[in-house]
Amino acid sequence: MRGLIVGRWQPPHKGHVKAIRWILERVNELIIVIGSADQSYTYENPFTAGERFEMIDGALKQEGVSRDRYIIVPVPDIKYNSVWVKHIENYVPEFDIVYSGNKLVCELFRDEGYKVKEQKMYEREKLEGTRIRKMMLENKNWEELLPEYVVSYIKKIDGAGRIRRIEGLYE
């Protein structure tokens, strides 16, 4: 059985890795969609799809998860919600079940006939993208919330510095 999970992974954090491991106990293979793949260098989406790919892939490798168990697929945005599930389907191999913690995502996939399961969340008040980006902006202890591989990758590309420099290209 093949599962699918959708996220923006800006950046991938410890809660993400735990959720992926939890799903992998339930499916043979997991498609990890990188949403908003065309977005980068903005406060909401600081990292490119390629950087996010590298971070997810490296973090899972470090955890000892084999690539036989997952595939990562970047998918650009489509500002057209009523065709969104079809848009995802276009980019990824077939799947049997969707995991998500978002009610609208659940509904949209259900409306297209998919089996959908609520995704387990881990310490959501702490492990949450918006909060982590804010900590990077303010130079707080964001490192302890991310997998080791992701921390060293972000340091290598000075990702926290990038977030601080982003204030809108034309202002």
- Provide the mask over 17-36, with x wherever binding to a copy of itself is found by CB under 8 A and - wherever it is not: ------------------xx
Nearer to a copy of itself among residue 25 and residue 94 (C-beta)? 94
* Residue 107 interacts with a copy of itself (CB under 8 A): yes or no: yes
Which range binds a copy of itself by CB under 8 A, 13-21, 115-123, 140-148, 163-171? 163-171
Binding mask 115-144 for a copy of itself (x = CB under 8 A): ---------------x--------------
H, E, C per residue of the chain: CEEEEEECCCCCCHHHHHHHHHHHCCCCEEEEEECCCCCCCCCCCCCCHHHHHHHHHHHHHHCCCCHHHEEEEECCCCCCHHHHHHHHHHHCCCCCEEEECCHHHHHHHHHCCCEEEECCCCCCCCCCHHHHHHHHHCCCCHHHHCCHHHHHHHHHCCHHHHHHHCCCCCC
Q: Is 171 in the site for a copy of itself (CB under 8 A)?
A: yes
Tell me: does residue 68 bind a copy of itself (CB under 8 A): yes
